[in-house]
Amino acid sequence: MLGVAVLGSLNMDLVVETPQPAGPGETREGTRFYATPGGKGANQAVAAARILGQRAPVTMVGRVGRDPYGDELIASLQAAGVGTKYVRRDPTRNSGVAVIFIDAQGENYVNAVYGANGCCDEQQVADAREALKDAAVLLVQQEIPLDVTLKAMTGARKSGVTVILNPAPMRSSLPDGFLAACDFLTPNAHEAAELSGFPVDSVDAARRAALQIRRTGPATVIVTLGHLGAWVEGKNISELVPAPSVPVVATVGAGDAFNGGLAAGLAMGLDLLEALHLGVAAGALCVTRAGAQEAMPTFAETEHLLGQE
């Protein structure tokens, strides 16, 4: 069985839990601080690896710095079973970091400094090409240079590899043909609102946004809606995949868990709806735990949750 290749970011997350994030000119006291490996690309790679287990390989493509954070980021991937042959060490930039505030409701606020991630170039395009030899799915985001991501997506499509684009974080401008270069586009409600031009605050709004976004080129648009689940809009599908009801500890990494679960499901040969249920369950389990990569569930855990529905 072929697996998943992930091209994207690796960041060290510096997390502050606080009843309320400080506003302009304010100082507020937090309740807990910790550092944990993250980055959308690395998180999604770990999520896919936890689901796939020994069934198929997951390979990460990206850059870290020659610093202790880089060591920790690579070690975390390896501990989860992610291949790190194509995680390069940049000689000039530090590893990326993200400062994350988590409020009393579990909502997160993120400010990132991407560091070595921003130096991804033709080397990562070539590395992705090699990683795709063992992959059925390429999973990408928007935390590294977009021209690199576009070239990798285009090459993957030409090779018959399924491409999932998680359009996060949103960018002010995208290269021509960027959204059309993927098979599945997976914005959350905020990203779908920016891409469609109107608020996405309900299931019906998600449906309308997905229809509008599809006109920009992606064959299938999947709008993730947190506790409501995910709306999928494609050529022969238009429906809500509901999320299991779970207690929320923190929403950090939930979207990454969804995307990793979706990619793993497609690599396993599940049909789209089955893969979506797997992704939604992975996202639901992730929010019941603190942290990012350490919060990613296994296949057995997602099966158990789905079996309770």
Residue 109 CB: number of other CB atoms within 10 A? 12
CB 139 within 8 A of CB 52: no
DSSP tag of 54: T
Burial of 106 (0-12, 13-18, 19+ CB in 10 A): middle
256 tagged catalytic: yes
Helix, strand, coil distribution of the chain in percent, nearest 5: 40, 25, 35
How far apart CA 142 and CA 238 sit, in angstroms, is 26
How far apart CA 36 and CA 97 sit, in angstroms, is 10
Give one word for 97, left, alpha or beta, with left for phi > 0 and alpha for psi -120 to 50: beta
Question: CA-CA distances (angstroms) from residue 56 to 2, 3, 47?
Answer: 6, 5, 13
Determine which one of 90, 121, 256, 271 is catalytic. 256
Phi and psi at residue 34, in whole multiples of 5°? -155, 160
Query: What angle is formed at CA 132 by the lines to CA 129 and CA 138, rounded to 5 degrees?
Result: 105
Q: Report which residue type is found at 152.
A: A
How far apart CA 192 and CA 222 sit, in angstroms, is 9
- Give the residue ranges of DSSP H helices in 103-220: 122-131, 146-158, 189-196, 203-214
Instruction: Catalogue the active-site residues.
Output: 256
